[in-house]
Amino acid sequence: MAMMTYVEAIRQGLWEEMERDESVFIMGEDVGIYGGAFKVTKGLLERFGERRVIDTPLSESVIVGAGTGAAIHGLRPVVEMQFSDFMACGFDQITNFAAKCRYRWGGSVPLVVRAPAGGGIHGGPFHSQNPEMPYVHTPGLKVVQPATAYDAKGLIKASIRDNDPVIFLEHKYLYRSIKEDVPADDYTVPLSKAVVRREGTDISVITYGWMVHVALQAAERLEEEISVEVMDLRTLVPYDREAVLKTAKKTSKVILLHEDTLTGGMGGELAGLISEHAFEYLDGPLIRIAAPDTPVPFSPPLEEAFLPNVDKVVEKARWLHKY
């Protein structure tokens, strides 16, 4: 056990997997001597050498495409996108090829695409986006986003061992803002399993990523008035339908919270599931809390207005509780 930040936990997970399995390697822009823009891969070059930690040219499509090719031929590549926003440059490779290999011809693609996502760091429209939905909507891909340091290590390890392509979204704001006890052992956190972060009986908040912390703070603030259950999805696809329905049926009032923008976001997907399969249990409208449908603005007052926060969750929870 050691106190560890989210970024250190991911690094430890990568390190252990590389020690364990010779077929795991790292590839991306500035991942070698520089250790990556967010220093996630720091030290790996020194330990594992240039064969296993490859600095590429500025070529996102080849990073994911060659990663897929290497995965097809027996390796387990972990490729890094410097910012998740630029995954867009490799979109065809990921969605049209990597995602479809197993379905088309039984091809196993044990590829992990790591990408720093999310806002809260005044990164502006190109360095703050939450890119999950196009990938959530691509059958054949898995999409994961850890909310804690413990999960960050366990999920990166599970993603590397998984035989399907995984988009692994790391939240930039969490990299260094949270610190936890993380076991030094070789553990994994299973994909496609949600977790209840806080038990409650009045209202469920279903969320993921940074917003798990926002939900927990809101739950704490409401402690005296409303018993809030907080569910962390952890894997966005294939997501844990049973767990979602279970908490919805338990509390009968559900808030769907995400940092990503509203229209076409994960909240709608969950609303679709719940309103079809837990309809009888609902005692109030499904409430979506999300960023508004705009690019991510840069200036602090705009970004603050854009991002969901504790106040917004508290306000909606109170409204829903009274309903």
Ligand X SMILES: Cc1ncc(C[n+]2csc(CCOP(=O)(O)OP(=O)(O)O)c2C)c(N)n1
CB of 57 to its own copies, least distance (A): 16
- Using alpha carbons, select from 93, 125, 118 the residue that is nearest to residue 296: 125
Residue of minimal CB distance from ligand X? Answer: 86
Q: How far is the CB of 83 from ligand X (least distance, A)?
A: 6
Task: Tell me, yes or no, if 213 is annotated catalytic.
Answer: no
Instruction: Say which residue the tokens 């997907």 belong to.
Output: 269
DSSP annotation of 74: T
Kindly state whether residue 195 participates in binding its own copies, applying the rule CB under 8 A: no
| 29 lies in the binding site for ligand X (CB under 6 A) | yes
Tell which one of 20, 47, 137, 179 touches its own copies (CB under 8 A).
Answer: 137
* Closest alpha carbon to 172 in 137, 215, 124: 124
Determine which residue in the list 72, 88, 195, 310 makes contact with its own copies, applying CB under 8 A. Answer: 88
From 122, 127, 137, 213, active-site residue = 127
**Is residue 56 part of the contact set for another protein (CB under 8 A)?**
yes
| Residues 6+ positions from 322 with CB-CB distance below 8 Å | none
Which CB, 29 or 240, lies closer to ligand X?
29
The DSSP 8-state label assigned to residue 174 in this structure reads T
Stretch that binds its own copies, among 8-16, 115-123, 136-144, 204-212 (CB under 8 A): 136-144
Q: What are phi and psi of 113, to 5 degrees?
A: -105, 105
> Which residues make beta-bridge pairs with 117?
171
Q: How far is the CB of 31 from ligand X (least distance, A)?
A: 11
The reply to whether 270 sits near its own copies by the rule CB under 8 A is: yes
Helix axes 241-251, 266-277, angle to 10 degrees: 70
If one asks whether residue 262 binds another protein (CB under 8 A), the answer comes out as no
H or E element in which residue 256 lies: strand 254-261
Q: Does residue 147 contact residue 210 with C-beta atoms inside 8 Å?
A: yes
Which residues, 29 to 48, sit near another protein by CB under 8 A?
Answer: 29-30, 32-34, 37
82 binds ligand X (CB under 6 A): yes
Question: Which of 60, 170, 260, 269 forms a contact with ligand X (CB under 6 A)?
Answer: 60
Which does residue 51 touch among another protein, ligand X, its own copies, none (CB within 5 to 8 A, set by kind)?
Answer: another protein
Q: CA-CA distance, 139 to 144, in Å (whole number)?
A: 14
Indicate whether 295 belongs to the interface with another protein (CB under 8 A).
yes
**CB distance 296 to 119 below 8 Å:** yes
The catalytic residue positions are: 127
